[in-house]
Amino acid sequence: MSTGPTPHARTTAPAPATTTVGIVGGGPAGLLLARLLHRRGIDSVVLESRDRAYVERRQRAGVLEQGTVDTLRDCGAGERLDRRGLVHHGVQLRYGRRAHRVDLSALTGGRSVVVYAQTEVVKDLIALQLADGGPLVFGARALAVTGADTERPVIRYAHEGREHTLTCDYVVGCDGFHGVTRDAVPARVQRTYQRGYPYSWLGVLAEVPPSGDELVYAHSDRGFALLSMRSPTVSRLYLQVPNGTDPAAWPDERIWDELDARSAVDGPWKLTRGPITAKSVLPMRSMVTEPMRYGRVLLAGDAAHIVPPTGAKGLNLAVSDVTDLARAFAHLKDSGSTELLDGWSDTCLRRVWRAEHFSYFMTTTLHTAPGQSAFDTRLQIAQLDRIASSPHAAAELAENYTGLPQVPGPRFEAAARGTRRGAGTLSAPSP
């Protein structure tokens, strides 16, 4: 049971020279994969380039889909989540000084989301890994992944001033867009789709109770604003700003004034102000790499896809990736069949592209682009009016926001229905 970081827990484990699954990156995707594999009796090693303190401080997403919450609970990482997470049954849309609540649970048969910071998810998974999982090596900077098209790929990494190698049956890259694992996939077989947005987010943390019980997504002619939270006493707030914005150019009072102007409604609502403790600017972009597997190297999370944060999909897509990957590895171990693994990339990409579309829809509907015409603004208002007035349109938003069920590809689905053929290993031939 996870209790968060403990001061006397070991901070790393000795790294062997070989393992079944080598995982590059100790963020939520890599840590969760290691946990799921451990529970299925499959050994792994996690290599994380940063130290533990840095990893446990990284500020990232904080809205967990229903499926993500269920997965964390099932793998033993739900104790603090259930105790500290804030369950949300709805979200609020604001535009034209009006507020409309989308009842997520009523529109999805009881599904909800939980606000629980990614930093806390990481702390929980680190504590579990150090308590009873496989090796987790901090300060291990991956230098290269070689042999992706062989039966024994190798991770070359630096740790404590020395270079080491880790020979694996499979390598999973959870090291982000700029990680070295992506380089193991030859350019001739890789295709990357990208889209940039002409605005960024200024994100702030404030030591102040949230101004409401649920997230507020605000559209205005001044730009987008999001009122979120990290806890009952800490608010997480965002403003649309031009690309290249310097956070220092936004003093606290200006931030509060702009949040107030963009989220204003007619009625007795008031924005709660307080001390701002952190500011950062987050660029907005979309990216998908296909395929997510080459030989015995697989890409998960931000290494394979990036979404703008408006739809709260980044962390949840990563969880979906590794949950299905752990299932495919377990199927290989139990049956000797690679069918689930062979269909894994197609299965993930079906969900990824759906999430990309939803994130694009939320982003372009709620943000005001530079030089946007009055016609475009009226189209946005018409779409928001449609959500506010149509149960069908609201249900479409709610179903996507709380997380659509995985849609397996044909091979993945067929293999999942197949019968067991007896014990196997993860050393089955790669395609």
Spatial separation of the C-alpha atoms in residues 426 and 142, rounded to whole Å: 23
Q: Of 217, 219, 305, 308, which one is the catalytic site residue?
A: 217
Buried/exposed code over 112-125 (b: 16+ C-beta within 10 A; e: otherwise): bbbbbbbbbbbbbb
For residue 187, what are its two tokens? 């350019």
Q: Of 199, 238, 401, 408, which one is the catalytic site residue?
A: 401
DSSP bridge pairs for 419:
none
Query: Chain-centre distance of CA 296, in angstroms?
Result: 23
Q: Of 88, 123, 305, 367, which one is the catalytic site residue?
A: 88
Contact 26, 48 (CB under 8 A): yes
- Rounded to 5 degrees, φ, ψ at 55 are -60, -40
Spatial separation of the C-alpha atoms in residues 167 and 157, rounded to whole Å: 11
Is 279 known to be catalytic? no
Strands lying side by side in the sheet with 63-64 = 63-64, 113-115, 86-88
Spatial separation of the C-alpha atoms in residues 344 and 304, rounded to whole Å: 13
Is 401 known to be catalytic? yes
Is 217 known to be catalytic? yes
Q: Of 38, 219, 313, 333, which one is the catalytic site residue?
A: 313
Is 123 known to be catalytic? no
Is 313 known to be catalytic? yes
Q: Of 135, 210, 308, 309, which one is the catalytic site residue?
A: 309
Catalytic positions, written as ranges? 88, 217, 309, 313, 401
